[in-house]
Chains A and B, each alone.
Chain A
Amino acid sequence: MVDNKGISIWFFIGTLLLLYGIIVTGANIYQAYNPSFGRPTVLENLHFGIWWGILLIVVGLIYFIGFRPWKNANQHPD
């Protein structure tokens, strides 16, 4: 990625993944305590949604912080 002015695409990706991670983790934690919240799924005892949500948060944070636009002002987005 060459950044010379503007917001990097990786920042957009990081932001969206971070939001998705928060939503998925939150919804699956809620479902762990309220099983009627979601449909029954195979292997739901593993609470995979919580782990996947945490993964999305971690990946999202890496991109969000690494490509934050306020680090280098006036960059090109490509």
Chain B
Amino acid sequence: MINGYSQSVFLLLLKSTSLVSLNWVDSLVIVLYFIFVVGIGFYLLRYTKTGEDFFLAGRRMSSWVAGLSFVAANLGSLELMGWAASAYQYGILATHWYWIGAIPAMLFLAIVMMPFYYISRTHSVPGYLKLRYGESTSMLSGVSFAFMTVLMSGINMFAMALVMKVILGWSIDFSIWVSSLTVMLYVVLGGLLSAIFNEVLQFMLIWLGALVIPVLGLIEAGGWSGMVSKIHANFPAGNYTHLWSTLGSFKDNPMGIHWTGIVFGLGFVISFGYWTTDFLVVQRLLSAKDLRSAKMAPIIGAGFKMMVPFIVILPGLLGLAVMPGLLPQQQAIATGGNSYNEVLPLMLARYAGPGLLGLGITALIAGFMSGMAGNVTAFSTVWTYDIYRPIHMKLAKKERPDEYYVKMGRWATIIGVIISIGTAYLVQQFASIMDYVQALFSFFIAPLFGTVILGMLWKRATGPGGFWGLLAGTLASVGMYVWVKLQPSALGIIALSKYAKPMADDMYRALWCWLVTVIVTIVVSYMTTPKPEAELTGLVRGCTEIPSEGHLPLVKRPIFWAGVVFAVLVILNVIFW
């Protein structure tokens, strides 16, 4: 998910010196990583023959592999650096994006939605919309998703290249071309199978590379209590270590947000929208070998997601304790100091000796590549099955052989990467594009969740209802965004408080446009004729027989582990209240 970090990354361009320099041992660690990811692609080429192999990894993945890649596809390097910076700026409040802003949605996906995605045997989320609502809704969702995915991939690529320039002094061209061509090579060779395998590898490297900081940071700060005391001593006026106690009023916390925005905007609409309908992450689950694995995968992913603050938020908090004085980006540029946007690489440079620094940089590169591979594989699937295929069928009125679609998927991967590279260079020229594309991406997420969830849970939802609901919700989101851009005081109306800050805008905009989608879908559905129930089998609750898990021992039932993860989530929130 987006946190505004990538925009501020632009200001890093103004820095002329790099933060660290690598010795040959660190470089060897990075080179080995590249050799392995490409090697895995070449090795898996032999297992990628059919469309199901290329686009769905043969539907053979275990719950662990699907679950880890589900989380890794979301763990971009900007996510790591951005949230560490946010933790330095806002304190532990940033953890909400990992806990309430992710875990309930992932568990809901596992228990409620996954059966319909999996039983319908769809290739993609737009594919599900086609089965449930028809071609027009699927095409609207598919085209917007494909377009946004490659653009977002390009933006992340450029931002990552900037980060590498600042940390290591690498040229932007070098970072863009080496990383993107590597991703392209291994995805073209092995499709989703290769992307998933590399994501599992990248997930391990992200943890083993990034974990150095919290471990040594806690030793230096004197443990958790020592860190909290140091933060209070360094920032006596701020409250950086409580999750909920400052959210009673917009004025009491540095984010300028109210608990209703966190619970309903972030915890409900935004996170449910992202985690349950963004095909980039859902695609990993469709590769599971059976329904139980497909349900367990997001639960396993949720367990790991819940621990990610340890390597992302904690370094930011440790920075507040042991490196007070990092500045907002513009102030840092003016004074020649360091910005809190650089807190993660600064902490890495503070603790990591030879080899460990290379491992930490590899973790950042791995994060970027796992995110990009997620974008590229999702794009090639949606393009091939949800955009090209229906148009071809309409024009030629005949089906192509399976091998043709595999070839198309490979070409879509290459073209997707080329468009991403082009976007990266475009963003370099016109920085404001980044703002607009990120906003554009957010326009589709919340309405899509409204459309999909009604489609799965409400038999009466009709094709026209789904289409007009999705369109109305998206336009409502665009309208609110433009309104706030033209008249900033409108933020107070949308977020229901004059003290609201831009972060609150995203939450409340998502909430309102989701409501618009739901209301329009319901109204139009009641005005139009529903599909016969026989056509809804495998797509809608009440029309679909979901295999019972009653015969399984308790420890093998997804619902049991979902309960365990949820209980841990509640306990963690109480501990850090």
Contacts and interface: CB of A to CB of B under 8 A. Distances in A.
Contact of A48 (B60, B64, B353): B353
Interface of B: 20-21, 23, 25, 28-29, 32-33, 36, 39-40, 43-44, 47, 57-58, 60-62, 64-65, 193, 197, 200-201, 204-205, 208, 212, 215-216, 219-220, 289, 349-356, 359
Q: From DSSP, what is the main secondary structure of chain B's interface residues? A: helix
A1 B64 contact: yes
A13 to B, nearest CB: 5
Given A38-B23, A43-B220, A78 B353 contact: no
Nearest to A50: B353
B223 to A, nearest CB: 14
* Listed residue (A16, A19, A28, A31) with the most chain B CB atoms within 10 angstroms of its CB: A16
B292 to A, nearest CB: 13
Contact of B354 (A17, A38, A56, A77): A38
Contacts of A56: 208
Given A2-B289, A16-B36, A20-B359, A49 B204 contact: no
B245 to A, nearest CB: 32
12 contacts: A7-B43, A9-B197, A12-B201, A16-B205, A27-B355, A28-B353, A37-B354, A38-B354, A39-B349, A76-B47, A77-B193, A78-B57
Interface in A25-64: 27-28, 30-31, 37-39, 41-44, 46, 48-49, 52-53, 56, 59
A16 B354 contact: no
B200 A2 contact: no
Contacts of B220: 42-43
Contact of B351 (A30, A43, A76): A43
B47 A42 contact: no
Contact of A31 (B33, B350, B354, B359): B354
List 3 tightest A-B contacts by C-beta distance, closest first: A24-B355, A27-B354, A38-B354
Contacts of B216: 42-43, 46, 48
Given A24-B356, A56-B208, A78 B201 contact: no
Nearest to A51: B215
Contacts of B21: 39
Contacts of B40: 9, 12
Given A20-B29, A24-B356, A48 B62 contact: no
B355 A48 contact: no
A6 interface: yes
B26 to A, nearest CB: 9
Given A6-B47, A12-B36, A78 B23 contact: no
Contact of A38 (B36, B215, B353): B353
A53 B58 contact: no
Contacts of A52: 212, 356
* Listed residue (B32, B197, B353) with the most chain A CB atoms within 10 angstroms of its CB: B353
Contact of A24 (B60, B62, B359): B359
